[in-house]
Amino acid sequence: MFHCPNCHSKDIGKIGSNHYYCWNCFIELTVSDNIIHVHQVEEDGSLSSLDDLFDESDRNMQEQTNR
């Protein structure tokens, strides 16, 4: 399991295949090719990407595991 790139919590729930939700900071996470993609749910229900806010290493599941 990985930790949240935003708050580093491990309190992450699985809501679908490759689709996760951080219960600590309420952002959605999707994983493809070991890269975590971060999305914020807007008030109107749409998703906006937060990937730009995080380093690639923070979003890489394998690098997280190796630390």
Binding site for Zn ion (CB under 5 A): 4, 6-7, 9, 22, 24-25
d(CA 2, CA 21): 12
- Residue 24 CB, nearest distance to Zn ion (Å)? 5
Task: Output the residue with the shortest Cβ distance to Zn ion.
Answer: 4
The DSSP 8-state label assigned to residue 15 in this structure reads E
Nearer to Zn ion, 12 or 63 (CB): 12
Q: What are phi and psi of 8, to 5 degrees?
A: 65, 20
Measured from the CB atom, the residue of 6 and 59 that comes closer to Zn ion is: 6
